[in-house]
Structures are given as structure tokens and as C-alpha cells.
């Protein structure tokens, strides 16, 4: 978190937008709540929400989205595997007409990615599966580093509590006709902390979501043809 705060400090100091950054502490058992409270006291643009116990990424996103939202809402990884300095690029794409823009390490125009090879292979494989099922020309379905038009988050209801929530939001946004854009983006290795993602749980969640996606796509096509 300290590295992210340093980089956000620099970004917000030079960017003219009225930023509000919301951190969701998902049931941490270390000093995270204390550190967040201290960081909020020093930064008027920052506030923190929390869960009493760990509920998962999807649950944290629902908590973050439950209050008043700005016209454009961004979600980012706290480990800086994607560069927070590039958030204005995603916002600009929404301002130019997209409803949702996702960073895309698996886009053909991006060739820089680091980190655990198995996780990269799994992320790319499930993204290809979602792409084939939905027919959407989107290369990355699993990335958290995104910008949304507020309307998307008000209309797309998602149920996943874990890491598969990002894919569920994107799939449902596509099926509801929202305009989705991709921004090729390098994926770097985590520099601090340990990932909370369980590969077994993540694979299981995506398999269930892929089956559900088949049903959603079939129902969508029946409605369109009927």
C-alpha cells in the first residue's frame, strides 16, 4: 500500500481532476486498518471502507460501488501490477464514448507481462473462453484495472464474491449492449505483499461462470431473435 499511495500522491498532485480514492479493507488481520486511517487523515481525497471479515474481491467491489458514484469510476490493484499513473488514459477513453475500458495485457499490441507463468496462462485461457462464448472481440476479461461510466455500475448486477467478479461484470456489460474498449497495458510482477488469490478457487469460480455465461448468451440470443 505505501508504494500505491506514493504514486497516487504524485498522480493527483499533477492531474486537475477532482479525485476521490476509496480503499476497501477486506477483513485484514494486520495493521492495514490503522494504516488506512492514518493515510486518510493526511489525504483529503482518500477514504476507507471495511469488512469485518474477508469476503472476497467481488464483495469489496460491491461495497465500493454502493455509495454515490462519480460520472467515471476506476478500479485498480493495490499491488501496482498495473501502473496507476495510466488511469487518466482509461478515463479519457470513457470520456470519448466508451462505457467501460479495461486494461488488456493479452491484447495483441501488448507484449510486456511478468509474474507467475501459470497464473498468466490461466488468465489468458479463461479470457479466450469468454471471448469465444460471447463473440466479443475482447482479449482480457479478468483484469481489475478499469474505468467505468457510472451507468454501467448502476445497471450491471453481479453476484460473484471472488476474483471472477471482474469477468462477470464484463460479460454482463457486453450482453447489455454497453460499449467496451481495451487499452493494451503491461502487466508487471507484484513488488510487495502476497496475493490472496487461490488458484483452485479461482479456476472453480471461472468454470461455474463460464457455464453461466453460456446460458446468458443463449437467453440473450433468444430475446434478440424473438
C-alpha cell at 84: 496507476
Cβ-proximal residues to 136 (8 Å cutoff; 6+ apart), any chain: 130, 174, 180
Reported pTM? 0.92
Place of cell 495510466: 86
**Cα-based angle 116, 7, 47 (whole degrees, multiple of 5):** 100
Query: pLDDT at residue 226 above 80?
Result: no
Cβ-proximal residues to 34 (8 Å cutoff; 6+ apart), any chain: none
Query: pLDDT at residue 34 above 80?
Result: yes
Q: Is the dihedral of CA 17, 98, 70, 39 positive or negative?
A: negative
**Cα–Cα dist 50/169, whole Å:** 22
pLDDT band at 197 (very low <50, low <70, confident <90, very high): low
Q: What residue ranges do the domains of the chain occupy?
A: 2-221
With 0-12 / 13-18 / 19 or more C-beta atoms within 10 angstroms meaning exposed / middle / buried, residue 161 is: middle
Place of cell 455509495: 67
In this prediction, residues 126-143 reach a mean pLDDT of 97
Q: Between 129 and 198, name the one with better pLDDT.
A: 129
- Across 83-97, 111-125, 180-194, which has the greatest mean pLDDT? 83-97
For 131-200, the three-class secondary structure string (H helix, E strand, C coil) is HHHHCCCCCCCCCCCEEEEHHHHHHCCCCCCCCCHHHHHHHHHHHCCCCEEEEECCECCCCCCCCCCCHH
pLDDT score, position 201: 87
C-alpha cell at 219: 437467453
Q: Tens digit of pLDDT for each residue in 1-25?
A: 789 999 999 999 999 899 999 999 9
pLDDT score, position 75: 98
Are 173 and 99 contacting, i.e. CB atoms less than 8 angstroms apart? yes
pLDDT score, position 196: 58
In this prediction, residues 132-136 reach a mean pLDDT of 97
SS3 218: helix
pLDDT score, position 102: 98
Query: pLDDT at residue 139 above 60?
Result: yes
Superfamily of 2-221 according to CATH: Spore Coat Polysaccharide Biosynthesis Protein SpsA; Chain A (3.90.550.10)
Amino acid at each position: 500500500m505505501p508504494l500505491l499511495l506514493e504514486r497516487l500522491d504524485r498522480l493527483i498532485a499533477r492531474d486537475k481532476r477532482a479525485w476521490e480514492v476509496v480503499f476497501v479493507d477486506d477483513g485484514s488481520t494486520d495493521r492495514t486498518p490503522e494504516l488506512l486511517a492514518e493515510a486518510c487523515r493526511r489525504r483529503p481525497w482518500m477514504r476507507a471502507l471495511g469488512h469485518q471479515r474477508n469476503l472476497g474481491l467481488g464483495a469489496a467491489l460491491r461495497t465500493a460501488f454502493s455509495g454515490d458514484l462519480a460520472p467515471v469510476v476506476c478500479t485498480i490493484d493495490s499491488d501496482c501490477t498495473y501502473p496507476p499513473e495510466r488511469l487518466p488514459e482509461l478515463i479519457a477513453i470513457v470520456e470519448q464514448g466508451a462505457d467501460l475500458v479495461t486494461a488488456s495485457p493479452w491484447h495483441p499490441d501488448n507484449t510486456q507481462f511478468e509474474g507467475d507463468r501459470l497464473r498468466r496462462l490461466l488468465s489468458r485461457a479463461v479470457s479466450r473462453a469468454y471471448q469465444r462464448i460471447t463473440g466479443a472481440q475482447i482479449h482480457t476479461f479478468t483484469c481489475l484495472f478499469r474505468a467505468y461510466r457510472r451507468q454501467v455500475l448502476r445497471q450491471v448486477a453481479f453476484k460473484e464474491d471472488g476474483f471472477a467478479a471482474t469477468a462477470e461484470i464484463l460479460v454482463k456489460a457486453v450482453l447489455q449492449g454497453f460499449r467496451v474498449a481495451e487499452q493494451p497495458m503491461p502487466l508487471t510482477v507484484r513488488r510487495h505483499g502476497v496475493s490472496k488469490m487461490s488458484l483452485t478457487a479461482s479456476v472453480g469460480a471461472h468454470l461455474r461462470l463460464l457455464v453461466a455465461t453460456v446460458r446468458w448468451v443463449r437467453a440473450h440470443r433468444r430475446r434478440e431473435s424473438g
